[in-house]
Amino acid sequence: MAEATEVASGLLAWFVLHARDLPWRHSRDAYGIWVSEVMLQQTQVQTVIPYWHRWMRQLPTIGDLANAPEEQLLKLWEGLGYYSRARNLQKAARVVTDTHGGNVPSTIADLLELPGVGPYTAGAIASLAYNQPEPLVDGNVARVLTRLRMIEGDPREPETKATLWSIATQLIKATGKLHSVPSTPLARGRFSILNQALMELGATVCTSRAPSCDQCPIRKSCQAFASGAVERFPALAPRVKATRLRYAVVVLRRSGKWFLRQRGAGDVNHGLWEFPQLELRLRPANPVRQVAEWLDITPKSLHPLPRVRHAITRYQITLEVFQASVDKTPVALGDGQWLTTREIEALALTSAHRKIALNAIEPVNIQTD
DNA sequence: CATTCGTGGCG
DNA sequence: TCGCCAAGAAT
């Protein structure tokens, strides 16, 4: 295990010199670290930073989170995606309040009981916040370790996953045996430093595309580097090709207000607000007639706004947007509310519908090619 | 165990 | 324009 020791000490030394100064690395309480970890699930650091600041300013303690109204949570999460993360965070805050005396637990078993906390996040909280000798494997660590040891399998498969957690555990054990460790204001304790170093290396040096092996502190131990095969790892299976969908979105105005609906329980993104939308067939190309019939208004009253594209995992969605002024609520729209601009600003919309709102309220000049 | 859940950036 | 992917978890 001399090699694991060398890797661990190399990572620690590198981290204290090259760590990014991320805001949650100054958090001294586990709550701030926990919030950052949940926000960072499948989400990049640069995206998370402003959200984390706003969240911690408005909900500085677990008690604040446990008592916050759902619309505040969703507004704070607006645009981050995976909105169930916000609701799970609050459920977990209530569990912490009710059964852990308001203190974020420090053991893996207790952490795994919390909604929204899985193997990775449990390891992250235990090691980063409490410096417990617990391993973690996220996408970054999987990339670093598959390259380090030339692990051929897909990191998403259970067998490969087990191998990676085992290697991460070896590194934690080696870290525990180091005689001396460097210190940094950005992490407290050797296990916290090691795990953050693994992730930091994956995020900034051992990147998916165009890795900077010349700047890697552990390249002498890296089997893939020695074989000139770094970019062959990790061997991820190709994703399912996205299915294309088209929707018409209607921005209806009536005496200075806009019509929006709230997604209901059981829906994807429930609790979020949106302009009414209608699924379109891919043909015909021009959906004006279909939309006009849906709303029972004349086609000429529909005015196009810039189309908006977005994706929900395996769906690639194009939104064809139309604006119209009406004097009554079209029957087909069902429940919804007529709202002012100011009211809409205070609601949580998906990113696509927030863009539509901005386009409708402050129309951009469309440059024709 | 396979699928689902968002979004923005980048080559 | 398009595919890929980023500090994963729940069902």
**Which residue in A30, A211, A217 sits closest to A110, CA to CA?**
A30
Q: Which nucleotide is nearest to A267 (CA to C1')?
A: B5
Q: Does residue A277 lie within 7 Å of nucleic acid chain B, judged by its CB?
A: no
Query: How many Å apart are A264 CA and B5 C1'?
Result: 16
Q: Can you tell me which residue has its alpha carbon closest to the C1' of nucleotide B6?
A: A81
**Measured from the CB, is A261 under 7 Å from any atom of strand B?**
no
- CA–C1' A369–B7 (A): 27
**Which ranges in chain A belong to alpha helices (H)?**
2-18, 30-39, 45-58, 62-67, 70-77, 84-99, 108-112, 119-124, 130, 139-149, 158-176, 190-204, 223-226, 288-295, 341-346, 351-361
Residue whose CA is minimally distant from B1 C1' = A158
CA–CA dist A61, A63 (Å, integer): 5
How far does the CA of A210 sit from the C1' of B10, in Å? 12
For A236, the token pair is: 């991820």
Q: Which of A6, A37, A320, A343 is catalytic?
A: A37
As a whole number of angstroms, the distance between CA A76 and CA A51 comes to 7
Residue A65 backbone dihedrals phi, psi, to 5 degrees: -65, -45
Q: Report helix, strand or coil for A139.
A: helix
CB A181 within 8 A of CB A12: yes
- Cα A81 to Cα A61, A274, A307, distances in angstroms: 23, 15, 20
CATH of domain A2-232: 1.10.340.30
Distance CA A134, CA A122 (A): 9
Q: Is the CB of A351 under 7 A from strand B?
A: yes
Give, in Å, how far the C1' of C8 lies from the CA of A141: 13
From CA A211, how far away is CA A186, in angstroms rounded? 24
Question: Does any strand B atom come closer than 7 Å to the Cβ of A265?
Answer: no
Give CATH for domain A243-361.
3.90.79.10
Are A2-232 and A243-361 equal in CATH topology?
no
Report CA(A7)–C1'(C4) in Å, whole number: 29
Nucleotides of B under 7 A from a protein CB: 1, 3-9, 11
Nucleotide nearest to A269 (CA to C1'): B5
Residue A367: what pLDDT?
39
Helices A158-176, A2-18: crossing angle, 10 deg rounding: 80
Q: Which residue gives the smallest C-alpha to C1' distance to B8?
A: A47
Our answer to whether residue A71 is catalytic in this structure is no
pLDDT at residue A362, rounded to an integer: 67
Which of chain A's residues 100-129 bind strand B, using a 7 Å CB cutoff? Answer: none
Q: Quick one: pLDDT at residue A267?
A: 85
Is A311's CB less than 7 Å from nucleic acid strand B? yes
Cβ A208 to strand B below 7 Å: no
What is the domain partition of chain A in residue ranges?
2-232, 243-361
Per-residue flag: A238 CB under 7 A of strand B: no
Pick from A123, A163, A124, A127: nearest CA to A142: A163
Query: Which residue's CA shows the smallest distance to C1' of C5?
Result: A208
Instruction: Scan residues 31-50 of chain A and list those with Cβ within 7 Å of strand B.
Output: 42-44, 46-47
User: What is the predicted pLDDT for the residue at A1?
Assistant: 52
Closest by alpha carbon to A30, among A145, A259, A174, A192?
A192
Give nucleotides in strand C with any atom < 7 A to a protein C-beta: 3-10
DSSP secondary structure code for residue A217 in this structure: T
Residue A54 · residue A76 · CB < 8 Å: yes
Residue A28: per-residue pLDDT: 86
Task: Give pLDDT tens digits along chain A (369 positions).
Answer: 589 999 999 999 999 999 999 999 998 899 999 999 999 999 999 999 999 999 999 999 999 999 999 999 999 999 999 999 999 999 999 999 999 999 999 999 999 999 999 999 999 999 999 999 999 999 999 999 999 999 999 999 999 999 999 999 999 999 999 999 999 999 999 999 999 999 999 999 999 999 999 999 999 999 999 999 999 999 998 888 888 899 999 999 999 999 999 998 888 899 999 999 998 877 777 789 999 999 999 999 999 999 998 888 888 999 999 999 999 999 999 899 999 999 999 999 999 999 999 999 865 444 332
Alpha carbon of A263 to those of A71, A82, A308, A356: distances in Å?
13, 15, 19, 17
